[in-house]
Chain A
Amino acid sequence: MLLGQRLSQFGWHTTQSERPLATRSEGAQGQLSHRRAIPIAPYTFTYKAFGLTLSSALALPELLPTTGATDVHIYEGAAPPALDSPNLRKIFYQANKNRWLMTAEHIAGARFLVREGREIVVERTSADHDDVLRLFLLGSCMGALLFQRGTVPLHGTAVATKRGAVVIAGGIGAGKSTLALTLHQRGYPILADDISAVNRRTDGTPVIESGFPRLKLWADTCRRFAIETDDLPRIRPELEKFHYPLKKGAFCAEPQPLRAVYLLSPTGSVTRPAFEPLTGVAKMKELQAQLYKIPFREARQTWPRLFADVGALARHTRVCLVERPKNGFLLNELADLIEQDLAQ
């Protein structure tokens, strides 16, 4: 095992017997083209994210480099155009419990097969979409990987506080990143952007795993915080959205116990931010609705234990609905209220 670990750092893969899951899955699919159980691509890069060590044949400069035993292999190989009998089907992906296939040839120039929570196979179909390829790899594929591993990925940005991780969740345009950035400017390191992955310790305490040391920010958010965008890489050349790298100290690279989830909701009916701690069914339902990019009802059919996992999460976590006025963000007031709420 040790030798295998060391070899993988030097770009060698581990032996077949050490990766039985991947081997078995080849047989299950029954397609000759995917029989290549052990990728031969050299794993040039080793990163850490979500508590996992990722050995990757692709450079993923958004991630933190690390060393150590590999949990997940990312390599170029063959991904089928379709799964045999998916029980979940969307425009861009299809999935069953252990396989998740993303077909994004036209947009990302690739198909992605996420298997058994252990590997992500990337088959390139054209070479011109590397930015999007990485966006999909680090977004949807990573979310699928976490679901397969039994981790609960929430759609939200997390900051680390002395009292534990705080997740800012909410719908599209609710202002998750903007509020997280406001808290960040008050000195709280960012723990995760977009995917807040929840694992549980043996005593049941939920923890948020550390994600990537960057925030994805729209140009108007950068303007609001006087962040100069001239030198920031765009997430794609076509979009006014930037990778904002988090330097050492600005990013928390260790998992943190989950303290609270704040669900941000812009509403016309309030003129001041309003906090409503949720309990019972409402709390459960709201947490279910925060799963990363998949409706709970559908996710549960594919990964049945999610119901119990989210239930356990609800029991251990404070969840607050935070209504903010639609006209005017009142960021500092919101951040004050969150700090007060945390101090309780």
Chain B
Amino acid sequence: MSIIWLASYPKSGNTWLRAFLSNYLRDGDEPANINELEKMGIASSHSLFERYAGVESSDLTADEIDTCRPEVYRMLAAANEDVHFVKVHDAYTFLPDGRPLFPAQATQGAVYIARNPLDVAVSMRHHMNDTHIDKTIARMANPQATLAASVKCGNNQFRQKLLTWSEHVRSWLDASKPFPVHLVRYEDMQQDPRIAFAQVVAFAGLPVNDVRLAKAIRFSRFEVLQQQEAEQGFREQPGNHATFFRQGQAGGWREVLTNEQVTRIVSAHRDVMRRFGYLPEGAGDDSGMMNDE
């Protein structure tokens, strides 16, 4: 059966959503193991690629890998009987020959998770082990930004093109897609998880069951994920010394970012931030807002 992409910029709640879905699908008596989420699939995994390509991916360039990815996903979709969720951090892009990286034939739909870039910056700095948050802010404004670009020992993912944070959001949400895209905000998952997660379940075409829903939300609470990481580690944690599940809060940026840093993020992403209600007080009623009218 076709794939449902769980698409997001890094550090935007993708793992949380996958933990929820794992628990919902599993319907067990204890929380699903965070180290088994990968069974749901990661679009940029070398081992997934090799399973369907049949060659050693580390002998290929990132561009060559990209040209094979649509076919890999078609084969993955053809091989699966059930609804299949696959995590994606790539922006929705096209290959030089015009084919989309994520082919419609393999796709049932996409869930796009958006999070306030002010919070993303704080979380991503730890995740990427950036020496300074200014580096992270620049990364989020760089149209050439990628994940896992440096091929080296210990990297089990291949390169993913992120584009800028704003372009990432737009690439999945703006242009008309040959498949449905459901938007969910990280902040809504936090504020009213029952509604946010129930919508995702319904979008995926799964039956919405209130008891299962409540249990899956409880089993994927931030504290549960954090505790599992403390006890047994998290496979998908990048190879630095940061913990993956760090704070899991909305608005944490207020304690970390300087006014100047906030201004820089806002001026780089104002339009998209406004759309999602992410502009901080005082930043929304300036000329940017006027231009919109």
Which residues of A pack against B, CB within 8 Å? 90-93, 104, 106-107, 132, 135-136, 139-140, 171-173, 175, 177-178, 194, 218-221, 235-236, 238-241, 266-270, 293-295, 326-327
Contacts and interface: CB of A to CB of B under 8 A. Distances in A.
B80 interface: no
A194 B233 CA distance: 28
B237 A326 contact: yes
B128 to A, nearest CB: 15
Nearest to B152: A220
Contacts of B237: 268, 326
B233 A173 contact: no
B153 A173 contact: yes
B61 A90 contact: no
Contact of B229 (A106, A219, A268): A268
Contacts of A235: 59
Nearest to A237: B61
Interface in B233-258: 233-235, 237, 239-241
Interface stretch (B63-71, B163-171, B217-225): B63-71
A205 B64 CA distance: 41
Given A269-B232, A326-B237, A326-B239, A93 B58 contact: no
Nearest to A140: B55
A221 B59 contact: no
Interface stretch (B44-52, B106-114, B182-190, B272-280): B44-52
B53 A326 contact: no
B56 A267 contact: no
Contact of A269 (B55, B151, B233): B233
Contact of A268 (B46, B51, B155, B233): B233
A239 B154 CA distance: 16
Contacts, number: 98
Interface in B191-236: 229, 231-235
Contacts of A172: 46-47, 50, 57-58, 156
B289 interface: no
Interface string B66-83: 011001100100000000
Contact of A106 (B51, B67, B71, B150): B67
A175 B154 contact: yes
B59 A132 contact: yes
Contacts of B231: 269
Contacts of A107: 60, 64
Contact of A326 (B60, B75, B233): B233
B54 interface: yes
A240 B231 CA distance: 36
Report the interface size class on chain B: 35 or more
Contact of A90 (B54, B153, B154): B54
A173 B155 contact: yes
Given A218-B151, A269-B231, A327-B240, A238 B54 contact: no
A175 B153 contact: yes
Interface of B: 35, 46-47, 50-61, 64, 67-68, 71-72, 75, 150-156, 229, 231-235, 237, 239-241
Contact of A136 (B55, B58, B72, B151): B55
A104 B47 contact: no
B58 A241 contact: yes
Given A90-B53, A235-B59, A177 B153 contact: yes
Nearest to A135: B59
A236 B68 contact: no
A92 B54 contact: yes
A38 to B, nearest CB: 30
A294 B50 CA distance: 8
Nearest to B56: A139
Nearest to A295: B51
Contacts of A240: 151-152
A90 B235 contact: no
A235 B60 CA distance: 10
A221 B58 CA distance: 14
Contacts of B151: 218, 239-241
A104 B59 CA distance: 13
Nearest to B243: A268
A193 B241 CA distance: 30
Contacts of A270: 233
B154 A266 contact: yes
A267 B151 CA distance: 20
Contacts of B72: 91
Given A171-B47, A268-B232, 11 more contacts: A90-B53, A91-B72, A93-B54, A106-B67, A139-B55, A220-B153, A239-B151, A240-B151, A293-B54, A293-B56, A295-B51
